[in-house]
Amino acid sequence: MGNLTFAIIKPDAVKNNYTGLIYDRILKAGFNILSAKLTRMSLAQAEGFYSVHKGKPFYNELTEFMSSGQAMVLALRKENAVAEWRKTIGATNPADADSGTIRKDFATSLGENAVHGSDSDDNAIKEIAFFFSDCELISNN
């Protein structure tokens, strides 16, 4: 069980001005932010990041959406971070997300669902490395 995960505040949530409210959820849930930056992915970057979904029916829509505007990418630390963050964000489809989760409260739709979370420790490491260099990951203690 690792202590790192990777999060994205997706373009729908940034456009809807939910960045601050989602930051508040991150901090209240006890995550330590090791790094964060506002970026705008190119289509090629979004395709690379989501290459595991290549060939799925939602892939083109997903990569176009993820490159459609600003997104906030974050490296988060907490004990059991992957599972803890997925619990905080809720189910992929906001219609199925538990009350009090980020997707329940801030998602627009199944595709535009406000936030990303890694699905395993290995992918968390890979996804953090996709956007951050080691020297950008800053410990607070």
Catalytic residues: 116
121 forms part of the interface with Mg ion (CB under 5 A): no
Of residues 24 and 87, the one with the C-beta less far from Mg ion: 87
In which element (H, E) is residue 59 found? helix 59-66
CB of 10 to ligand UDP, least distance (A): 7
Does 119 help bind Mg ion (rule: CB under 5 A)? yes
Q: Residue 132 Cβ, how far from ligand UDP at the closest point, in Å? A: 19
- Separation CA 125–CA 103 (nearest Å): 23
> Residue 4: beta bridge partners?
77
Q: Given the complex with ligand UDP, which of 60 and 138 has the nearer CB atom?
A: 60
Let me know if 22 is exposed, middle or buried by CB neighbors in 10 A (0-12, 13-18, 19+).
Answer: buried
Residue 57 backbone dihedrals phi, psi, to 5 degrees: -60, -25
Q: Rule CB under 6 A: which residues touch ligand UDP?
A: 58, 62, 92, 110-111, 113, 116, 119
To the nearest whole angstrom, how small is the minimum distance from the Cβ of residue 71 to ligand UDP? 12
CB of 107 vs ligand UDP, minimal distance in Å: 9
Strands of 4-9's sheet, edge to edge? 32-39, 71-77, 4-9, 115-117
| Pairwise CA distance, residues 34 & 125, whole Å | 13
Token couple for 102: 């980020």
> Which one of 14-22, 37-45, 74-82, 114-122 is the stretch in contact with Mg ion (CB under 5 A)?
114-122
Chosen from Mg ion, ligand UDP, none, partner binding at 45 (C-beta under 5 to 8 Å by type): none
- Which residues contact Mg ion (rule: CB under 5 A)? 119
